[in-house]
Copies of this chain bind each other. A is one copy, B any other.
Amino acid sequence: MPSLPLPPDHESDTPGPGTSLRRIPEATVVRLPVYQRILEELGRSGTTTVSSERLGASAHVNAAQVRKDLSLLGSFGTRGSGYDVTYLADQIDHHLGLDREWTVVIAGIGNLGRALARSQGFAARNFAVAAMIDTDPAIIGERIDGVEVRHPDDLAAITESTPLSIGVITTPASVAQRVTDLMVGAGIRSLLNFAPCRLEVPSGTLLRYVDLSMELQVMSFYQARHLHDGNVAAMPVIGSVGRTFDGVG
């Protein structure tokens, strides 16, 4: 399907000025961050080149799959040696949109909100926590990593000086819809919802649900199978961001 001589879609597949974004299948999108993290580790350990075989082993993915995924971003492997770690990481960054800074606002400064705000993973990947909001007067005014917690009513004012691209909702479910409406009203078009409830957003808004207890549910499914028939080997890698493995690869 991705390899017709002429693409059926409107999107041009001329290589363009190195900036062309061709259609990337969802299955690939969710593997890219995995590759990227491995490349990061390899880079830190001084490795300059990596083969699809090795990358695949680390990612628990077939080597052919790795090559197919990467060939979608362009073809910049070197036959006989492999991929340049740094260059490949840059390319993935570009396709994931991580070569520009994203500003994040976190709503609900409880334990989860603080955990995310302080997460080094965010800063390391160009996500800047640019604002934090909460309604608790005891929390408002507090500074976390240099960012002051403010009242939700200030959101519109905040966005005037600091455009915000992504809203992260870590409030109780009871107020999640209200804070969502505020964020949407302030022009935020991407939301990551950790509150255990469904949200309504206008069309054109991206909404991503993350439910930590669901991870446990999927895990318990596999363990239940495991206990019943001892058949661990039949448990495959599943899912996107959360992934289940049976032992080492």
Contacts and interface: CB of A to CB of B under 8 A. Distances in A.
> How many monomers of this chain does the complex have?
2
A155 to B, nearest CB: 19
Given A111-B115, A112-B111, A206 B235 contact: yes
A89 to B, nearest CB: 13
A86 B13 CA distance: 51
Interface stretch (A64-72, A95-103, A135-143): A95-103
A75 B41 CA distance: 48
A98 B216 CA distance: 10
A100 B118 CA distance: 35
A101 to B, nearest CB: 10
A112 B127 CA distance: 19
Contacts of A29: 218, 221, 238
Interface stretch (A77-85, A145-153, A193-201): A193-201
A106 to B, nearest CB: 11
Given A33-B211, A33-B214, A115-B112, A190 B240 contact: no
A159 interface: no
Given A203-B246, A239-B30, A192 B215 contact: yes
A112 B120 CA distance: 13
A206 B245 contact: yes
Contacts of A21: 224-225, 228-229
Given A111-B111, A204-B232, A208-B243, A125 B213 contact: yes
A77 to B, nearest CB: 22
Contact of A210 (B122, B226, B241): B241
A175 interface: no
Nearest to A239: B240
A26 interface: yes
Contacts of A121: 196, 211-213
Given A29-B221, A121-B211, 15 more contacts: A29-B218, A33-B218, A37-B196, A37-B211, A95-B221, A110-B115, A111-B112, A125-B213, A192-B216, A201-B247, A206-B235, A206-B245, A207-B246, A210-B241, A241-B242
Interface of A: 11, 21, 26, 29-30, 32-34, 36-37, 41, 58, 95-98, 100, 102, 104, 110-112, 114-116, 118-122, 124-125, 127, 165-166, 168, 189-190, 192, 196, 198, 200-226, 228-229, 232, 235-236, 238-248
